[in-house]
Amino acid sequence: MPIDVEANLKIPSLTIKSADEPDKRINNSGLRLMKRITLDALPKVGDTIQLSTSAGTLFDAIVSRVDWDEGKNLFVVASSYARRSITADEHARLLADPDWRVNQLP
């Protein structure tokens, strides 16, 4: 039975290298991306879920936690980007995607 949840995605930090400029480090440790999605079933910790951008790009995330949020009246599925690294293009597309909401942690 399909269920609506909020995906709470942690993405890896990255370093952008350029021949003309010094390397630029982007620290994403205090950043989460959130989006409402529909899943076939509620995932368990350690499961892999498939997420997408509005452009249709698919990517995997590994579930790290599932909690009920009383205020939102839905489950929040905390997950991490499945690959160890993210490219600068993937990073830029995710941050600019209107379907994903950026949340800065305190």
Structurally, how many domains does the chain consist of?
Answer: 1
List the domain range (segments joined by +) for residue 31: 3-104
Taking CA atoms, 45 is separated from 19, 27, 30, 40, 48, in Å, by 41, 25, 21, 16, 9
pTM to 2 decimals?
0.90
Query: Residue 10: CA atoms inside 13 Å, Cβ hemisphere, count?
Result: 14
In one-letter notation, the amino acid at residue 80 is S
* Tens digit of pLDDT at every position of the chain (106 positions): 899 999 999 999 999 888 888 888 999 999 999 999 999 999 999 999 999 999 889 999 999 999 999 999 999 999 999 999 999 999 999 999 999 999 998 8
